Amino acid sequence: MTKTFEFLFDFGGPNSYLAHKVLPKFCAEHGAEAIYVPVLLGGLFKITNNQAPLIRYAETPAKRSYEMLEFNRFVKAHKIPFTMNAHFPINSLHLMRGAVAAKHLGCFMPYVEAVMAAMWEEGANMGDPSVVKAVLEKAGMDSAALFAKAEDPDVKAELTANTETSAARGAFGVPTFFVGDEIFWGKERLAQVAEALAEG
């Protein structure tokens, strides 16, 4: 039986993108399946009184510089195509509602792939609905249907519930992984995720 683990993500977080890019190889190596859970990073920050690194380390430039050093090392080690988006940070609310909508409409992974690539490989302004529409249409998806579904009260409530439940389980940022009820934060914890899967 395939082992599963949860992957909490938000398109607005570049580390979510990096984790997403290494998960196919990770899952193949460990006979596991990643269950993608869309959450709203801003909501997690608000609930847990957390802050983005640029703010949190504003008065500790050495820490901020080291975070970027490790980030770039990860990109290089895994040969990940990455472009720092000039529009970062963006409000990812509508993108994340779109992810929930895509689950309901049966196009979740194509949606995730298209949005991740546009955001962190092509540097597109994914805070602009017209840009998002073009990205989705180019990937062969029905943008009108996705936009409409994203406004469904049940979809909005699902994203809120995902975020609040994740915070209640101990999540405070992304990417976060859960193996059962055991939490792991950060792309650098994937080796620990592998150990937990092996023990499960």
117-134 pLDDT per residue, tens: 999 999 999 999 999 999
Distances (CA, A) of 55 to 61, 63, 68, 175, 195: 11, 12, 14, 18, 33
Give the pLDDT band of residue 59 (cuts 50, 70, 90).
confident
E-assigned strand segments in the chain: 3-9, 32-38, 176-179, 182-185
Q: Is the predicted pLDDT of residue 144 greater than 70, yes or no?
A: yes
Q: How many CB atoms lie within 10 A of CB 24?
A: 10
Instruction: Extract the tokens encoding 199.
Output: 């023990």
Nearest CA among 117, 98, 93 for reference residue 108? 98
* Cα 196 from Cα 154, distance rounded (Å): 33
Domain locations in the chain as residue ranges: 3-199
Give the pLDDT band of residue 4 (cuts 50, 70, 90).
very high
Q: Is the predicted pLDDT of residue 58 greater than 80, yes or no?
A: no
pLDDT of res. 1: 63
- The CATH code that applies to domain 3-199 is 3.40.30.10
Structure confidence by residue, pLDDT tens digits, 164-181: 999 999 999 999 999 999
pTM for the predicted model, two decimal places: 0.95
Cα torsion 67, 73, 74, 75 to 10°: value is 110
Across the chain, mean pLDDT equals 95
Average pLDDT over residues 98-125: 98
CB hemisphere CA count around 165 (13 angstroms):
13
pLDDT of res. 64: 86
Q: Is the predicted pLDDT of residue 29 greater than 70, yes or no?
A: yes
Give the pLDDT band of residue 163 (cuts 50, 70, 90).
very high
pLDDT of res. 90: 94
